[in-house]
Amino acid sequence: MKKILRFSRFSLRDLLVAAAPTIVLIVGVCLLAYWLVDPAPPRTVRLATGQDNSAYAEFGKKYAAALAAHGVKVTLVPSAGSGENLRLLKEGQADIAFMQSGTTNEEVAEQEGLSSLGSLFVEPLWLFLRERKDHPPITRLSQLKGLKINFGPEGAGAPRLFRQVLELNGIEKQQVRRYSLANTPATVELLAGRIDGLVFTSAPEAPLIQMLLQTPGIKLFNFHQAEAYGRKLPFLTHVMLPRGIVDLGRDLPASNFDLIAPTATLVARENLHSALVDLFVQAAASIHGGSGWFAQQGQFPSAKYSEIPVHPEAAKFYKSGPPLLQRYMTFWLANFLDRMWVVVVALGALLLPLSKVVPPLYVWRIRSRVYRWYGQLRAVEQAVEAATPEDRLPVYAAQLQRLNEIEELVNQVSIPLSFADGLYGLRSHIQFVRKRIEFLQGEAGGAAAAAEAAPAVSAAAVAT
């Protein structure tokens, strides 16, 4: 009979089987925590912007591109402007929006569950007027009486702000012929001479602003009393458009212009995931962090200049910079680890006792391959012991055959080398039982032979 003993240095399969309950428990806890501890951030978010060709619309595209790099789709929601954006946030039709300072206040923001992610840039109040030969140059707002001025569509920030400015100058609503066209058609009307002026509140990057600043026959109104406006309306600041900033070669504008400006703020609903808040603020730092016509390097984005409470995650960014993990990892991996750190700590405490359970289970599983054959060996011994004198020889022969079968199966057992002593011990015990049976078999055979010989001897004695 060919005998083969199979050994291995280590049994990965047995280790995995022994550790399976622990692994299942850990995976179950992780999956449960993944959904319950803090939901994963959504892959899509709605950003309310503004009118076509406005700064809000242009910046919205930049935010969409910045977040797309992290696997987040930003759906741009066009609107008339700040006022409509506030409504979209209130009604849940947008998750985050550009909004002009002064659009709302702290009390309303808290009631509606809104928070600021920071101020992004100043957006001056631009009043462009068509030059008229039959009308002297306009240097005071009181000279607008009777003129056709486009305030912008309702829902934008400009109409509300310009009404406040006119009221400060004692101009009543009916004294100015007001139009409510969107920015692009209003610009067409101005260039065609069908209206006398139009009002924007926008960053200078807006294409229409850039065009009008360089259009002959269109003049920008100079707010010489800008400091006074800032004292009357605290959400306004005095900014200066420097001479030559538009085109140094053509000296445009030909002089400094004083302007009044609210700040543009990124406002979010309170249920916006904190991880998305981090992404938007980081994108804001990249998009608005440079120097510009009205800002110095690093002035924006900022937690200042906003009447809306700043989101805690945004405040943390302005104080300490990006989250530590996001400085060295991808957004989704850093977010996963940040959300799961509580579970990681808990699992660390759980692994210590579990690690003491797995090794004994592994040892038991390996040794059970040997120990289970002792049951078979004991059954052989019991059969031998229970044999009656009449059937001992057939029983001994059957059990010896059974021992051969057991030995053959034992020789096929695969076991790590560190447990080989148990296997060799089993084989020696099989040999011990075999020798014992063979001894008993020999005794039983001799007794039977003697019993057969006894009658023959007696018959011979009688004959003698």
Distances in Å between the Cα of 274 and the Cα atoms of 49, 271, 314 are 21, 8, 9
pLDDT confidence band for 387 (50 / 70 / 90): confident
Mean pLDDT confidence for 33-38: 64
Q: Please report, as a single letter, which amino acid is at residue 436.
A: R
More confident residue, 31 or 433: 433
Query: Does residue 10 carry a pLDDT above 70?
Result: no
What is the pLDDT averaged over residues 397-412? Answer: 87
Position 154 scores a pLDDT of: 87
Phi-psi region of 324 (alpha: psi -120 to 50; beta: other; left: phi over 0): alpha
Q: What is the mean pLDDT of residues 2-21?
A: 57
pLDDT of 329 strictly over 90: no
Best mean pLDDT range from 30-44, 307-321, 377-391: 307-321
Give the pLDDT confidence of 124-148 residue by residue, as tens digits: 999 999 998 878 889 999 999 999 9
| Residue 161: band (very low, low, confident or very high) from pLDDT cuts 50, 70, 90 | very high
Q: What is the pLDDT of residue 38?
A: 62
- Over residues 278-291, the mean pLDDT reads 93
DSSP assignment of 18-57 equals HHHHHHHHHHHHHHHHHHHTSPPPPSEEEEE--STTSHHH
Instruction: Supply the pLDDT for residue 199.
Output: 96
Q: Provide the pLDDT for residue 2.
A: 46
Supply the pTM of this predicted model: 0.66
417-446 confidence digits (pLDDT tens)? 777 788 888 888 888 988 888 888 888 777
Is residue 463 scored above 60 in pLDDT? no
Residue whose tokens read 């005071």 = 140
pLDDT digits (tens, 9 = 90+) for 348-368: 666 666 667 667 776 777 777
Q: Which two tokens stand for residue 54?
A: 């406005």
- Give the pLDDT confidence score for residue 1 in this predicted structure: 43
Other CB atoms within a 10 A radius of the CB of residue 382 amount to 11
Q: Is 35 exposed, middle or buried (0-12, 13-18, 19+ CB in 10 A)?
A: exposed
- Pairing outcome for strands 148-150 and 177-179: parallel
Using CA atoms of 181, 183, 188, 190 in order, give the dihedral in degrees to the nearest 10.
80
Lowest-confidence pick of 157-171, 219-233, 314-328: 314-328
